[in-house]
Structure 1
Protein backbone atom coordinates (compact mmCIF):
# COMPACT_ATOMS: atom_id res chain seq x y z
CA UNK A 1 0.00 0.00 0.00
CA UNK A 2 1.33 3.41 -0.94
CA UNK A 3 1.89 5.90 1.83
CA UNK A 4 -0.06 9.13 1.76
CA UNK A 5 0.67 11.93 4.16
CA UNK A 6 -2.46 13.36 5.73
CA UNK A 7 -2.01 16.98 6.76
CA UNK A 8 -4.28 18.79 9.19
CA UNK A 9 -4.00 22.57 9.43
CA UNK A 10 -6.05 25.26 11.17
CA UNK A 11 -9.04 26.47 9.17
CA UNK A 12 -11.09 29.66 9.33
CA UNK A 13 -13.47 28.68 12.16
CA UNK A 14 -12.84 28.44 15.89
CA UNK A 15 -12.18 24.68 15.81
CA UNK A 16 -12.19 24.15 12.05
CA UNK A 17 -9.31 22.28 10.43
CA UNK A 18 -8.51 21.52 6.81
CA UNK A 19 -7.58 17.89 6.17
CA UNK A 20 -5.59 17.20 3.00
CA UNK A 21 -4.44 13.99 1.37
CA UNK A 22 -2.48 14.78 -1.77
CA UNK A 23 -4.74 16.90 -4.00
CA UNK A 24 -7.90 16.14 -1.95
CA UNK A 25 -9.23 18.14 0.98
CA UNK A 26 -12.13 18.33 3.39
CA UNK A 27 -13.11 20.25 6.49
CA UNK A 28 -13.16 18.83 10.01
CA UNK A 29 -14.93 20.77 12.74
CA UNK A 30 -16.82 20.37 15.98
CA UNK A 31 -20.57 20.86 16.39
CA UNK A 32 -21.71 24.24 17.67
CA UNK A 33 -22.70 22.60 20.97
CA UNK A 34 -18.99 21.91 21.54
CA UNK A 35 -17.71 25.33 20.46
CA UNK A 36 -17.23 24.68 16.76
CA UNK A 37 -19.03 26.08 13.74
CA UNK A 38 -20.41 22.72 12.52
CA UNK A 39 -18.73 23.44 9.17
CA UNK A 40 -17.50 19.94 8.42
CA UNK A 41 -17.08 16.37 9.54
CA UNK A 42 -16.45 15.60 13.20
CA UNK A 43 -13.45 13.29 13.63
CA UNK A 44 -15.53 10.25 14.61
CA UNK A 45 -17.59 10.70 11.42
CA UNK A 46 -14.36 10.64 9.41
CA UNK A 47 -13.46 7.36 11.05
CA UNK A 48 -16.90 5.92 10.28
CA UNK A 49 -16.61 7.19 6.69
CA UNK A 50 -13.21 5.50 6.35
CA UNK A 51 -14.75 2.21 7.51
CA UNK A 52 -17.68 2.53 5.09
CA UNK A 53 -15.57 3.52 2.10
CA UNK A 54 -12.96 0.83 2.75
CA UNK A 55 -15.69 -1.80 3.11
CA UNK A 56 -17.37 -0.81 -0.17
CA UNK A 57 -14.10 -0.73 -2.13
CA UNK A 58 -12.94 -4.06 -0.68
CA UNK A 59 -16.25 -5.76 -1.51
CA UNK A 60 -16.29 -4.43 -5.07
CA UNK A 61 -12.69 -5.54 -5.65
CA UNK A 62 -13.43 -9.02 -4.28
CA UNK A 63 -16.63 -9.39 -6.30
CA UNK A 64 -14.76 -8.38 -9.45
CA UNK A 65 -11.98 -10.91 -8.85
CA UNK A 66 -14.45 -13.70 -8.08
CA UNK A 67 -16.79 -12.63 -10.92
CA UNK A 68 -19.73 -12.35 -8.54
CA UNK A 69 -22.88 -10.66 -9.90
CA UNK A 70 -22.59 -7.75 -7.44
CA UNK A 71 -23.96 -4.66 -9.16
CA UNK A 72 -23.27 -2.39 -6.19
CA UNK A 73 -23.15 -2.34 -2.42
CA UNK A 74 -24.42 0.38 -0.10
CA UNK A 75 -22.68 0.67 3.25
CA UNK A 76 -24.25 2.49 6.18
CA UNK A 77 -22.20 3.10 9.32
CA UNK A 78 -23.77 4.46 12.48
CA UNK A 79 -21.26 5.50 15.10
CA UNK A 80 -22.30 5.93 18.71
CA UNK A 81 -20.84 5.82 22.17
CA UNK A 82 -22.16 3.00 24.32
CA UNK A 83 -20.98 2.54 27.91
CA UNK A 84 -17.83 4.57 27.29
CA UNK A 85 -16.90 2.59 24.17
CA UNK A 86 -17.26 3.88 20.62
CA UNK A 87 -19.31 1.37 18.58
CA UNK A 88 -19.67 1.27 14.79
CA UNK A 89 -22.81 -0.45 13.51
CA UNK A 90 -22.31 -1.31 9.83
CA UNK A 91 -25.14 -2.36 7.51
CA UNK A 92 -24.44 -3.78 4.05
CA UNK A 93 -27.05 -3.74 1.29
CA UNK A 94 -26.17 -5.81 -1.78
CA UNK A 95 -27.63 -5.31 -5.25
CA UNK A 96 -27.38 -7.95 -7.94
CA UNK A 97 -28.39 -11.56 -8.50
CA UNK A 98 -26.49 -12.93 -5.49
CA UNK A 99 -27.36 -16.18 -3.73
CA UNK A 100 -27.15 -16.67 0.04
CA UNK A 101 -23.70 -18.29 -0.16
CA UNK A 102 -22.29 -15.37 -2.17
CA UNK A 103 -23.73 -12.85 0.30
CA UNK A 104 -22.21 -14.76 3.22
CA UNK A 105 -18.85 -14.77 1.44
CA UNK A 106 -19.11 -11.00 0.94
CA UNK A 107 -20.00 -10.51 4.61
CA UNK A 108 -16.81 -12.34 5.63
CA UNK A 109 -14.71 -10.29 3.21
CA UNK A 110 -16.18 -7.05 4.61
CA UNK A 111 -14.39 -7.77 7.88
CA UNK A 112 -11.09 -8.06 6.00
CA UNK A 113 -11.00 -4.48 4.74
CA UNK A 114 -7.86 -2.74 6.09
CA UNK A 115 -9.77 -0.14 8.12
CA UNK A 116 -11.91 -2.82 9.80
CA UNK A 117 -8.77 -4.77 10.62
CA UNK A 118 -7.10 -1.67 12.06
CA UNK A 119 -10.14 -0.83 14.20
CA UNK A 120 -10.46 -4.42 15.40
CA UNK A 121 -6.84 -4.94 16.35
CA UNK A 122 -4.09 -3.18 18.14
CA UNK A 123 -3.03 0.03 16.48
CA UNK A 124 0.43 1.48 16.91
CA UNK A 125 0.64 5.26 16.78
CA UNK A 126 4.03 6.95 16.87
CA UNK A 127 4.00 10.65 17.78
CA UNK A 128 6.87 12.81 16.60
CA UNK A 129 7.12 16.45 17.54
CA UNK A 130 9.55 19.25 17.01
Structure 2
Protein backbone atom coordinates (compact mmCIF):
# COMPACT_ATOMS: atom_id res chain seq x y z
CA UNK A 1 0.00 0.00 0.00
CA UNK A 2 1.34 3.40 -0.95
CA UNK A 3 -0.04 6.66 0.38
CA UNK A 4 1.04 9.82 -1.43
CA UNK A 5 1.27 13.27 0.18
CA UNK A 6 1.59 16.25 -2.17
CA UNK A 7 2.08 19.93 -1.34
CA UNK A 8 2.21 22.73 -3.89
CA UNK A 9 2.04 26.53 -3.50
CA UNK A 10 -0.76 26.92 -0.94
CA UNK A 11 0.96 27.13 2.46
CA UNK A 12 0.78 23.77 4.26
CA UNK A 13 -2.28 22.45 2.37
CA UNK A 14 -1.39 18.87 1.58
CA UNK A 15 -3.40 16.41 -0.48
CA UNK A 16 -3.04 12.83 0.69
CA UNK A 17 -4.14 10.10 -1.69
CA UNK A 18 -4.38 6.39 -2.27
CA UNK A 19 -5.48 4.77 -5.52
CA UNK A 20 -9.12 5.61 -4.76
CA UNK A 21 -9.35 8.29 -2.04
CA UNK A 22 -8.12 11.84 -1.36
CA UNK A 23 -8.12 13.80 1.90
CA UNK A 24 -6.69 17.19 2.81
CA UNK A 25 -4.24 17.79 5.63
CA UNK A 26 -3.38 21.33 6.72
CA UNK A 27 -2.18 23.48 9.58
CA UNK A 28 -4.31 25.95 11.56
CA UNK A 29 -4.54 29.57 10.46
CA UNK A 30 -2.57 30.75 13.52
CA UNK A 31 0.57 29.07 12.14
CA UNK A 32 0.00 30.13 8.54
CA UNK A 33 -2.15 27.33 7.19
CA UNK A 34 -5.64 27.46 5.79
CA UNK A 35 -7.19 25.08 8.34
CA UNK A 36 -8.69 23.02 5.49
CA UNK A 37 -7.99 19.66 7.10
CA UNK A 38 -6.62 17.89 10.12
CA UNK A 39 -3.03 18.43 11.23
CA UNK A 40 -0.65 15.51 10.59
CA UNK A 41 -0.60 14.46 14.26
CA UNK A 42 -4.40 14.52 14.32
CA UNK A 43 -4.40 12.13 11.37
CA UNK A 44 -2.19 9.75 13.31
CA UNK A 45 -4.58 9.81 16.27
CA UNK A 46 -7.52 9.50 13.86
CA UNK A 47 -5.99 6.37 12.34
CA UNK A 48 -5.91 4.71 15.74
CA UNK A 49 -9.46 5.80 16.58
CA UNK A 50 -10.89 4.73 13.23
CA UNK A 51 -9.13 1.37 13.27
CA UNK A 52 -10.34 0.74 16.82
CA UNK A 53 -14.02 1.39 16.16
CA UNK A 54 -13.91 -0.53 12.87
CA UNK A 55 -12.37 -3.49 14.72
CA UNK A 56 -15.08 -3.27 17.39
CA UNK A 57 -17.80 -3.17 14.73
CA UNK A 58 -16.36 -6.22 12.97
CA UNK A 59 -16.07 -8.18 16.22
CA UNK A 60 -19.54 -7.26 17.50
CA UNK A 61 -21.10 -8.10 14.12
CA UNK A 62 -19.29 -11.44 13.94
CA UNK A 63 -20.51 -12.33 17.45
CA UNK A 64 -24.03 -11.04 16.78
CA UNK A 65 -23.77 -8.61 19.70
CA UNK A 66 -26.14 -5.61 19.81
CA UNK A 67 -23.51 -2.86 19.70
CA UNK A 68 -25.26 0.17 18.19
CA UNK A 69 -22.23 2.45 18.05
CA UNK A 70 -18.68 2.92 19.28
CA UNK A 71 -16.88 6.23 19.72
CA UNK A 72 -13.14 6.61 20.29
CA UNK A 73 -11.74 9.90 21.61
CA UNK A 74 -7.96 9.82 21.09
CA UNK A 75 -5.46 12.27 22.58
CA UNK A 76 -1.88 12.30 21.30
CA UNK A 77 0.83 13.86 23.43
CA UNK A 78 4.46 14.13 22.44
CA UNK A 79 7.09 14.95 25.07
CA UNK A 80 10.31 16.06 23.39
CA UNK A 81 12.19 15.97 26.70
CA UNK A 82 11.55 12.28 27.34
CA UNK A 83 11.34 11.50 23.61
CA UNK A 84 8.13 9.59 24.29
CA UNK A 85 4.70 9.89 22.74
CA UNK A 86 1.53 8.85 24.51
CA UNK A 87 -1.87 8.07 23.08
CA UNK A 88 -4.84 7.98 25.41
CA UNK A 89 -8.15 6.65 24.13
CA UNK A 90 -11.53 6.98 25.80
CA UNK A 91 -14.09 4.53 24.41
CA UNK A 92 -17.84 4.83 24.46
CA UNK A 93 -19.60 1.61 23.49
CA UNK A 94 -23.35 1.84 23.04
CA UNK A 95 -25.92 -0.92 22.83
CA UNK A 96 -27.74 -3.43 25.00
CA UNK A 97 -24.54 -5.27 25.92
CA UNK A 98 -23.71 -7.30 29.00
CA UNK A 99 -20.83 -6.23 31.23
CA UNK A 100 -18.87 -9.26 29.98
CA UNK A 101 -19.42 -8.21 26.36
CA UNK A 102 -18.26 -4.66 27.14
CA UNK A 103 -15.12 -5.97 28.85
CA UNK A 104 -14.38 -8.23 25.89
CA UNK A 105 -14.81 -5.32 23.48
CA UNK A 106 -12.38 -3.29 25.58
CA UNK A 107 -9.83 -6.10 25.20
CA UNK A 108 -10.46 -6.27 21.45
CA UNK A 109 -9.99 -2.49 21.12
CA UNK A 110 -6.30 -2.83 21.93
CA UNK A 111 -5.89 -5.48 19.23
CA UNK A 112 -6.75 -3.37 16.20
CA UNK A 113 -4.05 -3.48 13.48
CA UNK A 114 -3.01 0.18 13.88
CA UNK A 115 -2.65 -0.23 17.66
CA UNK A 116 -0.42 -3.26 17.08
CA UNK A 117 1.73 -1.33 14.61
CA UNK A 118 2.12 1.68 16.90
CA UNK A 119 3.08 -0.32 19.99
CA UNK A 120 6.10 -1.84 18.22
CA UNK A 121 9.37 -0.17 17.23
CA UNK A 122 9.19 1.37 13.75
CA UNK A 123 12.09 1.56 11.31
CA UNK A 124 12.17 4.45 8.85
CA UNK A 125 13.88 4.82 5.51
CA UNK A 126 13.74 7.81 3.18
CA UNK A 127 15.21 8.00 -0.32
CA UNK A 128 15.35 10.90 -2.71
CA UNK A 129 13.90 10.10 -6.14
CA UNK A 130 15.63 11.93 -8.96
Shorter-chain TM range is: 0.7 to 0.9
Distance in structure 1 (CA, Å) of the matches to 2:20 and 2:92: 31
- Show the counterpart of 1:68: 65
Distance in structure 2 (CA, Å) of the matches to 1:92 and 1:5: 30
| Ranges in structure 1 where 5+ consecutive residues have no aligned partner | none
Q: Deviation per CA, 1:77-127, whole angstroms, max 9, x where unpaired?
A: 122335643322211111111111111110111000011111111123332
**How many residues are aligned here?**
127
Q: Runs of 4+ in structure 1 displaced over 6 angstroms?
A: none
Q: Note the aligned Cα RMSD (angstroms).
A: 1.8
Give me the TM-score of the superposition, normalised by structure 2: 0.86
Shift of 1:51: 0.5
- Show the counterpart of 1:54: 51
Shift of 1:32: 3.1
- Show the counterpart of 1:90: 89
- Show the counterpart of 2:16: 19
Q: Does the residue aligned with 1:49 lie in a helix, a strand or coil?
A: helix
Distance in structure 1 (CA, Å) of the matches to 2:128 and 2:121: 23
Give me the TM-score of the superposition, normalised by structure 1: 0.86
Q: Does 1:45 align with 2:27?
A: no
- Show the counterpart of 1:128: 127
Q: Does the residue aligned with 1:58 lie in a helix, a strand or coil?
A: helix
Q: Does 1:6 align with 2:3?
A: yes
Distance in structure 2 (CA, Å) of the matches to 1:45 and 1:99: 33
